[in-house]
Amino acid sequence: MRNVLREWQAEVRRTLTGSPSAPPEWAEKFAQGNDPGFYLPGSAVWAVHHGMPTIVAGIRSLLMQTLHPGVMAGVYEHSKFHEDSLGRLARTTRWIHAVTYGSTADARTATDSVLRIHDTVRGQYVDGTGATRDYSANDPDLLRWVHVTFTDSFLTAHKKWGGPIPGGPDAYVREWAQAARLMGVSSPPLREVELTRELNDWFAAGALRADERVAETVAFIRNPPLHPWLLPGYRVLFAGAVLSLEPRYREMLGLRTARLGPLPLPVGLATRVTLAVVRLALGRMGPSELAARQRLRRLGVA
C-alpha cells in the first residue's frame, strides 16, 4: 500500500512539474540570485500561488483562453499539445514559479524564453466578427487576453476554494500585473473591477468565438492523457473548473455543471476534498517556495 501511495505521489509531481521524485532542477535554482524578486512571503501573489486551487485555476484559464480565436489559432496550429500536453504544463508551471518565487533575473530569463518561443508563432485567424486577421503569439491583444483570463481564473478559484488574500482580491490583481508587464502588456488591470470590465468588453464586442477547434480542444482538456490513477481526481477538478465559469462562457464552450455520477458530494465540496488530498501528496510547501525562502534568508530579507 505504501508503494502504491509513493507511486501515486510521484505521478502527481511528474504531471505538475515534470519531475517525479527530486525537486525540479529549475526550482532549486530559485535559491540562487542576488535580489528578493518581484514578490515576497505575505504578498497576495504568494498566498494565491501557494494554494492548491491553482490546479483548478489552470484548467479554468485554459478553457477561457480557447475562446479568443487568435489564441486558439496559435495553440492549435503551432503547439504540440496533443503529443506533449504534460511537457507544456510543466513549462507553464516553470514560468509561473520563476516569476512568483525567483529573483528578478530568474523571472526575466523565464519570460524572455517564453517570448522567444512566441515569436515563431504566427499565422491568420478569423475573429468573432468573421474578419480574417494576422496574428503573432506576442501580439499585445492576445497576451492581454491570456493575462486577464489567467488572473481572473486564479482569483476566482482561490476565492472559492482558498484562504484569505493579504490585501484582498485587488492586491492580487495589482501585484500580478507585474507579470503582464514582463510579457509586454501595457496598462494591465490593477483592480478586480477593471478585470471584470475587460472581460465584459471582450464579450460585448463579439471578440470571442467557439468553433470546431474550440470543441476539440475542450474535449482534450476534459480527457487529457493522464495516468489512470490520476483520472478520477482530475475529473473532479475539471468539474470544479466548469462550476467556477460564468454561465455565458460555459454556454460558449458547450459545458454544463452536473453531479459527479454516483459521487454523493456536490461538485464544489468534492473539489475541496480532492484538493486536500493533492495537498497531502505534495506537502505544505513546494520546492520553488522552499528555494525562494532559502534565497531570502541568505539575503536577510526573510
Q: In this structure, what C-alpha cell is assigned to residue 43?
A: 504578498
Q: Over pLDDT 90: what percentage of the chain?
A: 60
* pLDDT of amino acid 16: 66
Over the range 1-30, which residues count as b (16 or more CB within 10 Å of their CB) and which as e? eeeeeeebbebbbbbbbbbeeebbebbebb
pLDDT at 284: 77
Q: How many Å apart are CA 153 and CA 195, to the nearest integer?
A: 11
Residues in CB range of 293: below 8 A, 6 or more apart: 41, 302
Q: Which three cell numbers stand for residue 209?
A: 468565438
> How does the average pLDDT of the chain come out, rounded?
88
Residue 263, pLDDT above cutoff 70: no
At 124 the pLDDT is 84
Computed on alpha carbons and rounded to an integer, the radius of gyration of the chain in Å comes to 19
pLDDT for the residue numbered 268: 93
> Is the per-residue pLDDT at 78 higher than 80?
no
pLDDT at 185 exceeding the cut of 80? yes
Domain boundaries, the chain: 2-285
pLDDT for residue 1: 47
pTM of the predicted model over 0.85: yes
